[in-house]
Amino acid sequence: MRQQILVEATRLFAARGFDGTSLQDLADAVGIRKPSLLYHFNSKAELRRGVLEELLSHWQDVLPRLLLAATSGLRRFDAITRELVTFFTDSPDRARLLVREALDRPVELRASIVDNVSPWVKVVCDNIRAGQKQGMIHPDVDPEAYVTHVIALVISSVATFDTVGAVMHAGDDAQAQRARHVAELLRVARSSLFRPRERADDDNETTTLTSADHQAR
């Protein structure tokens, strides 16, 4: 029940804003009485904190697993970035909520980001600097600024896709348009980080592996 409340709160806060959503609206969306809602969350403010904490703390759980599972260079980058994009495309309300909160309550959201997101940003930036020393990543990349751009690009583009995605080819269905959107987002993030030689080496390795798989079949 607590999880259902968080899901509906994310959806309604994203659609109407925190001030535009009442506790009764939330109880009706979940299908419970208002006192039952207050049993799990003492107030609307506490529920908002719960929504943001679950959303932002996701990365504290996911990033270490990704870094351990990945190898190096593009593979590690693709794993982390795709996980970030998928987390928001699976539920665009998460991205819409963050955009709303950034505009409506920037100081409060900033504090949550510092507590929950900054630790994994430091890990990614340390990896970017290691890649620069190895010659894989553009030497002029500013790690912290780059990560900030990628976060903003992912969140804002997912949050607004249903609107700005209208400029894409009308012949594609919604799923195909979204797939193209995600693929291009990943390409932009990747190509602005890795030097051409690193990208070419990875492409050659991917082609070799693909050919080997084909022959094995």
- Residue 60 falls within a domain, yes or no? yes
Residue 169: domain span:
52-209
**Neighbour count for residue 134 (Cβ, 10 Å):** 11
Q: What are phi and psi of 170, to 5 degrees?
A: -65, -20
Residue 103 domain flag: yes
The domain total for the chain is 1
* pLDDT above 70 (res 76): yes
What value does the mean pLDDT take over residues 193-207?
A: 60
Task: Taking residues 88-100, report their average pLDDT.
Answer: 92
- 79 domain residue, yes or no: yes
**Would 56 be classed as within a structural domain?**
yes
Distance CA(23)–CA(34), nearest Å, equals 7
168, part of any domain: yes
**Which CATH number goes with the domain that contains 96?**
1.10.357.10
Residue listed under structure tokens 């903003």: 152
In the predicted model, what is the mean pLDDT of the chain? 83
123 occurs within a structural domain: yes
Query: Model's pTM, two decimal places?
Result: 0.78
* pLDDT tens per residue, range 6-51: 999 999 999 999 999 999 999 999 999 999 999 999 999 999 999 9
Of residues 185 and 80, the one with the higher pLDDT is 185
Residue 128 lies in a domain: yes
Residue 204 has pLDDT above 60, yes or no: no
